[in-house]
Amino acid sequence: MGNHPDSIRLNKAISDSGYCSRRKADVFIEQGRVTLNGTIVSLGDRAMPGDLIHVDGHLITKNTNLVYIALNKPVDITCTTDQRVEGNVVDFIGHKERIFHVGRLDKPSEGLLLMTNDGDIVNKILRAGNKHEKEYIVTTDRPVTDDFIRRMSSGIPIAELETTTKNCHVERLSRFAFKIILIQGLNRQIRRMCEYLEYEVLTLKRTRIMNINLGNLALGTWRDLTPKEVKELQEAVSDSNNNSYAGQEPSQAPELEKKAPVTRTPRNKERPSQDGPKRRRGRTT
């Protein structure tokens, strides 16, 4: 079709609908599950206004009811939209809209997880080159020393990924706890960094993503982001290496209702125990 000024990449059109993230849309396209006007498409194909896009026979339409959620994820909840997986985060929340998680917070970890149906903002936040901060509090099986802080903050080689972590801020909080602020999202990054220095991570909690703080949100509950938080988030990613939302500037995105945030406990779920964290051997950050 070429790059007609009114055309849009199919993966973006699908993510803008709130059906899934742009990365997941690419997977669906590769698997031959996406059609454009009845024809199976390929990666990189584009659509024009009025074209009919289907994923697994489901008609994709633009979603104007944007949802932005902060969840305090408990341990043992899995970040996946695959509802065949027991303990998946989508069923845990039970939201009426089709939402997906922004990045991952893996099963042995807890804390702040953003969820939304705004596929464009997900893509901008996740791009590593955009250097968006994520903050964690970690406890370990050995005392946190000055040497540990120095080495963690100055870069750790990760042989499995054939890379070295970027410099980051690391601060000791107590004898067995530290705070770390990352701008990367490498697989099992914090745990691998600690393992290299012969430390074991006992607990890992994310407390901040960019301008969104976990605050006093109870474990296992979620809330809508405030209009101020959404505006700040949109402004923070406005210069990101990506196209803006549906061809609009962030300030033109649909306005959210201005109301005080309400904390919610997931439907049909008992609130997880808030006892102190137990010793766990985790796999990813």
CATH code for the domain in which residue 171 is found: 3.30.2350.10
Mean per-residue pLDDT, 90-96: 92
Distances (CA, A) of 171 to 70, 132, 158, 215: 25, 19, 21, 19
Contact status, residue 47 vs residue 39, Cβ threshold 8 Å = no
Residue 20: helix, strand or coil by DSSP?
A: coil
- For residue 30, the domain's CATH number is 3.10.290.10
Whether 75 is covered by a domain: the verdict is yes
In this model, does residue 20 exceed pLDDT 60?
Answer: yes
Q: What is the pLDDT of residue 124?
A: 81
Instruction: Give the pLDDT score at 243.
Output: 38
Residues with a known catalytic role = 106
pLDDT at 274: 38
Residues 108 and 130 in one domain: yes
- The string of pLDDT tens digits covering residues 221-264 is 999 999 999 999 988 888 765 433 332 222 323 333 344 456 66
In a shared domain, residues 40 and 86: no
Q: Same structural domain for residues 121 and 34?
A: no
What mean pLDDT comes out for the span 19-31?
90
Co-location of 41 and 170 in the same domain? no
**pLDDT one-digit tens code per residue, 105-133:** 989 999 999 999 887 788 788 775 567 89
If asked whether residues 132 and 14 sit together in one domain, one would say no
What is the mean pLDDT of the segment spanning 23-45? 93
Number of helical H runs and strand E runs in the chain: 7, 18
DSSP 56: T
Whether residue 138 has pLDDT greater than 90: yes
The residues that bridge with 251 in the sheet, in sequence order, are none
Closest CA to 118 of 209, 19, 239: 19
* Residues 101 and 172 grouped into a single domain: yes
Q: For 226, left (φ over 0), alpha (ψ -120 to 50), or beta?
A: beta
Q: Provide the number of structural domains found in the chain.
A: 2
What confidence score (pLDDT) does residue 254 get? 33
Give the tens place of pLDDT for each residue, 166-208.
Answer: 999 999 999 999 999 999 888 899 999 999 999 999 999 999 9
- 37 lies in the same domain as 160: no
Within a domain: 16: yes
Report d(CA 93, CA 250) in Å as an integer. 27
| Domain annotation covers residue 229 | yes
- Predicted local distance difference test score (pLDDT) of residue 248: 28
- CA–CA distance, 124 with 148 (Å, rounded to integer): 32
Residues 125, 148 share a domain: yes
Instruction: Evaluate if residue 272 carries a pLDDT over 70.
Output: no
Task: Output b/e per residue, 103-122; b: 16+ Cβ within 10 A.
Answer: bbbbbbbbbbbbbbbbbbbb
Range of the domain at 216: 64-285
pLDDT > 70? residue 49:
yes
| Phi then psi dihedrals of residue 30, to 5 deg | -60, -30
pLDDT value of position 259: 43
Are 28 and 85 within one domain?
Answer: no
Q: Identify whether residues 46 and 87 lie together within a single domain.
A: no
The strand ranges marked E within the chain are 8-9, 34-36, 39-40, 46-47, 53-55, 58-59, 68-73, 100-101, 110-116, 134-140, 157-158, 163-164, 169-174, 177-182, 201-209, 212-213, 222-224, 263-264
Specify whether 55 is located in the same domain as 195.
no
Clarify whether residues 25 and 83 are in a common domain: no
Q: What percent of the chain has pLDDT over 70?
A: 81
